[in-house]
Structure 1
Amino acid sequence: MKENPLRSLPGIPMLLALLVALLVAAFAMFAALKGGEAGLLTIALLLGVAAFFCLFGLYMVEPNQAAVISLFGKYVGTVKDNGLRWNNPFFSKKKVSQRVRNFESGKLKVNELDGSPIEIAAVIVWQVVDSAEAVYNVDDYESFVHIQTESALRAMATSYPYDQHEDGQIALRSHPAEISQHLKEQLDERLSDAGVSVIDARISHLAYAPEIAQAMLQRQQANAVIAARTRIVAGAVGMVEMALAELQKHGTVQLDEERKAQMVSNLLIVLCSDHRGVQPVVNTGTLY
């Protein structure tokens, strides 16, 4: 069911007209009682009852709010004109806020793609864009948004690993923009039938579950050490190759294979060591 705009009458002129009608009915009733005119009394009573009943057709519509109008259970239309409005008193009015709202989901414990338990939560910014769908397509659109958000967050968390294992792989921790876009698309698909549009969706909390947090921290530290060592060794090898090439190019000193090996050993010890002030081995003879 799609939203259908409905015209309404300005409420203040209608209110003034109805008040005047009530005053006229009261004056006519007083005159009929004083003059003993039964016909005039009947007309005055009917006018007063009709004017009083029409007062129930007045209602307020605030900014960024919509009034969903129905007649005996049948959807008639939606009024979005602000201020005091008037429609048929038999119409039922259900007001729906179309303001931008946000909420943070609770921390969910799920297993990511590699099977490790993690805790994840998200902040969702959303807005009702079709009041008729929000009222008639779901029982409670606010509860529907919260439940579908948790469901989409669980499904997304199981589709990606926590950490990036190879170049180009999307991970929860290393690709926040891609993850947020995926979550937003999933929510838009789930909430479209409820007349709700998701403006933004972002991960607000992401961590390993407490029972494996220490082990995962040690693994991350080990990976960082390995990556750092790999880079240090690669740089050291490049520097050694450059040193040997420069010595050979300028003919500074002639090194046989044994002395080249000794020089490479000393340079690698100095360049790759964790401790400052490392002293290379000084060999006064041959390696043998």
Structure 2
Amino acid sequence: MERRAFRVNGFAVLVGLLVLGVVMAGAGWAAGVPALIGAAVAWVIVAAVAASGFVVINPNEAKVVQFLGRYVGSVSDAGFQWVLPFTTKRRITLRVRNFETAKLKVNDADGNPVEIGAVVVYRVTDSAKAAFSVDDYEEYVAIQSEAAVRHLATSHPYDAHDEGRTSLRDGAEVAAELTTELSDRTELAGVEVLEARITHLAYAPEIAQAMLVRQQAAQVVAARTQIVAGAVGMVQLALNRLAEEGVVELDEERKAQMVSNLLVVLCGDRAIQPVVNAGSLYA
């Protein structure tokens, strides 16, 4: 787990080294030339040791500090800092990053081959896990993202033909599920997934034309169903108004004929040419 490393303001340590140098030089000068030379050599050694602990931290960045292979802590305070000397410092960025998966070809829940791709927005929240739990946290996020997208595609169909079934085209629900799964997968690497969304979704080229015909047929059926429902309502309204206002009295046979004519007019996909019956020429 990440913990805070010992650190001191770098400028304070630098000023301390300069003060120490002045004091040592003054003492050596008072004791003679050999003592002055010895003081200078001692100050150079101390300064060289202390200089190995200076480090510059940029905003939204952390340095993982190790001493002889042992993790001693992380420093994330931006600025000029000083940590324990003779330590190694590994840079870990804490900035928000984007990753876009390649277009993957997988079979959906119905067995149809589809092409799918996603974009993942993430950031490192635990520098120690990112540095030591995995070899390369960026590569780890990339591989886990592709695995999560493949699992998502095989768990849902491209189109949900039954009610209560989530399809890959349901953006908000699919994005929430993908984000949750990726968060669980990348927690080991100290990574927080902020958002994951599908950016590319299409049938594979070999079945795209057949699926297009299927979608068009489904849309035609849905449109016809709505048209018929509306036409039935209009016919019912017309018959009720005629009966309420007493415009004309129709027997069952004429009602059936009227319903048939109205449905042909309302549900037809072509312009209707009406035939007007003006009555007989002879009494």
Q: What is the TM-score with the length of structure 2 in the denominator?
A: 0.90
- The alpha carbon displacement at 1:21 in A equals 4.9
> Taking structure 1 as reference, are residues 31 and 55 closer, same or farther at Cα in structure 2, changes over 3 Å only?
farther
Unaligned runs of 5+ in 1: none
1:183 to 160, 175, 178: 178
- 1:115–1:142 distance in 2 versus 1, CA, 3 Å: same
Pair 1:152 & 2:148 matched = yes
Partner-residue secondary structure (3-state), 1:206: strand
2:255 matches 1:260:
yes
The answer on 1:143 being equivalent to 2:142 is: no
What residue in structure 1 maps to residue 12 of structure 2? Answer: 13
**Using a 3 Å threshold, how does the CA distance of structure 1 residues 276 and 31 change in structure 2: closer, same or farther?**
farther
Deviations 1:178-236 (A, max 9, x none): 11000000010000111000111111111111111111111111101011111111221
Task: Decide whether aligned partners of structure 1 residues 167 and 282 sit closer, same or farther in structure 2, where only a CA change above 3 A counts.
Answer: farther
Pick closer, same or farther for the CA change 1:281–1:140 going to 2, 3 Å.
farther
Instruction: Evaluate the alpha carbon distance shift between residue 187 and residue 256 of structure 1 in structure 2; reply closer, same or farther with a 3 A threshold.
Output: same
1:29 CA displacement: 8.4
1:269/1:278 contact within 8 Å kept = no
Alignment of 1:206-245 (within 5 A): 206-245=201-240
Match of 2:64 in 1: 68
* Residues in 1 aligned to 2:135 and 2:241: alpha-carbon distance in whole angstroms: 79
Shift of the alpha carbon at 1:168? 2.8
Provide the alpha-carbon RMSD of the alignment: 2.5
Please give the alpha-carbon distance, in whole angstroms, between the structure 1 residues aligned to 2:2 and 2:104.
Answer: 35
Q: Structure 2: which amino acid aligns with 1:136?
A: F
Q: Does the 8 Å contact 2:101/2:146 carry over to 1?
A: yes
Q: Paired residue for 1:78? A: 74
Secondary structure of the residue aligned to 2:192 is strand
Return the alpha-carbon distance in structure 1 between the equivalents of residues 125 and 241 of structure 2.
71
Whether the 8 Å contact between 2:25 and 2:39 is mirrored in structure 1 is no
Instruction: Structure 2: give runs of 5+ residues left out of the alignment.
Output: none
Identity %: 51
CA offsets per residue over residues 239-282 of structure 1, 9 Å max, x none? 22222233333332222332222212211111111112432596
Cα distance, 1:23 vs structure 2: 7.0
Answer whether contact 1:119 1:208 (CA < 8 A) is retained: yes
Amino acid at match of 2:11: I
Contact 1:105 1:149 in 2 (8 A): yes
Task: Check whether the contact 1:18–1:52 (CA below 8 A) recurs between aligned residues.
Answer: no
1:159-180 deviation digits (Å, cap 9, x = unpaired):
111112123321111x201110
Aligned-residue offset at 1:12: 1.5
Q: What amino acid maps onto 2:43 in structure 1?
A: L
- Give yes or no for the alignment of 1:128 onto 2:121: no
CA contact (8 A) 1:103 1:123 kept: yes
